[in-house]
């Protein structure tokens, strides 16, 4: 936003207040581009700033009254012929109280996303890669083994949301 002052002398540094962003700055009168407004950082509805990579539309209603407060740059969806899916992408908690994580979601099982630290996500990627060469029954056997191991953990703390 360019502001010129008719009153200041041409060689006199003058204080201006930008009517666009409210910043104050010094400039010579008639300077062509004395000030560039800093782009406003987008935020979610709670006012928490988006990381630079966030592409979520925090205003879009995903359901009645439901808007996403977490940050994300989208996910890759793997669809089965039956239109079930597994999806993975980068996410961050809405209030930015943790660093970026990897979200893995699916249309199967307990609702909700699996949020992983980057090193755990790498390990999961390795496991999923191995499954590419496994038979469907072996993959179901693994799913059952994971569920069985989880069911053996009875400490409520281990089942609590973080
Ligand atoms: Zn400005
Ligand atoms: Zn965001």
Asked if residue 48 belongs to a domain, the reply is no
Q: 140 CA distance to ligand 2 centroid (A)? A: 36
Looking at the structure, do residues 89 and 20 belong to the same domain, yes or no? no
Domain span at residue 97? Answer: 71-159
pLDDT in tens, 121-136: 999 999 999 999 999 9
Same domain, 11 and 90: no
Ligand found nearest the CA of 21: 1
52 C-alpha to center of ligand 2: Å? 8
Least confident span in 9-13, 102-106, 138-142: 9-13
The phi, psi pair for 15, rounded to 5°, reads -85, 130
Average pLDDT over residues 143-155: 94
Cα maximum dimension of the chain: 83
Same domain, 34 and 82: no
Whether 19 and 83 map to the same domain: the answer is no
Q: 73: CA distance to ligand 2 center in Å?
A: 8
CA 93 to CA 122: how far, in whole Å?
20
| Tally of domains in the chain | 2
For residues 10 and 75, state if they share a domain.
no
Residue 8 above 90 pLDDT?
no
Q: Does 101 fall in a domain?
A: yes
| Nearest ligand by distance to the CA of 24 | 1
Percentage of the chain modeled with pLDDT above 90: 61
Which ligand lies nearest the alpha carbon of 94? 2
| Integer CA distances (angstroms), 160 to 28, 98, 153, 155, 156, in order | 61, 18, 12, 9, 6
Whether residue 60 is contained in a domain is answered as no
**Confidence grade of residue 7 (pLDDT, cut at 50, 70, 90):** low
C-alpha 54/C-alpha 130 separation (Å) is: 31
pLDDT digits 0-9 by tens, 55-90: 999 999 988 888 999 999 999 999 999 999 999 999
- Confidence check: pLDDT of 5 > 60: no
Whether 23 and 80 map to the same domain: the answer is no
Q: Which ligand is nearest to the CA of 52?
A: 2
pLDDT confidence of residue 23? 85
Instruction: Please indicate, yes or no, if residue 63 is contained in any of the structural domains.
Output: no
Higher pLDDT, 133 or 33: 133
Is pLDDT at 6 greater than 80 in this prediction? Answer: no
**40 alpha carbon, closest ligand:** 1
Gap from CA of 56 to ligand 2 centroid (Å): 5
For residues 128 and 82, state if they share a domain: yes
Other beta carbons within 10 Å of 40: 9
């Amino acid at each position: 936003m360019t502001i010129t002052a008719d009153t200041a002398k041409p060689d006199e540094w003058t204080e201006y207040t930008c009517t666009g962003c409210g910043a104050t700055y010094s400039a010579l009168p008639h300077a062509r581009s004395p000030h560039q407004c800093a782009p406003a950082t987008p935020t979610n509805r709670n006012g928490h700033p988006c990381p630079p990579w966030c592409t979520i539309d925090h205003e879009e209603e995903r359901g009645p009254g439901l808007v996403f407060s977490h940050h994300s740059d989208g996910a890759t969806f793997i669809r089965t012929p039956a239109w079930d899916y597994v999806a993975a992408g980068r996410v961050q908690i809405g209030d930015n109280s943790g660093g970026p994580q990897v979200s893995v979601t699916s249309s199967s099982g307990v609702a909700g996303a699996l949020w992983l630290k980057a090193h755990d996500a790498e390990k999961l990627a390795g496991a999923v890669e191995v499954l590419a060469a496994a038979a469907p029954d072996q993959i179901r056997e693994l799913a059952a083994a994971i569920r069985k191991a989880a069911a053996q953990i009875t400490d409520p703390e281990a089942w609590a949301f973080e």
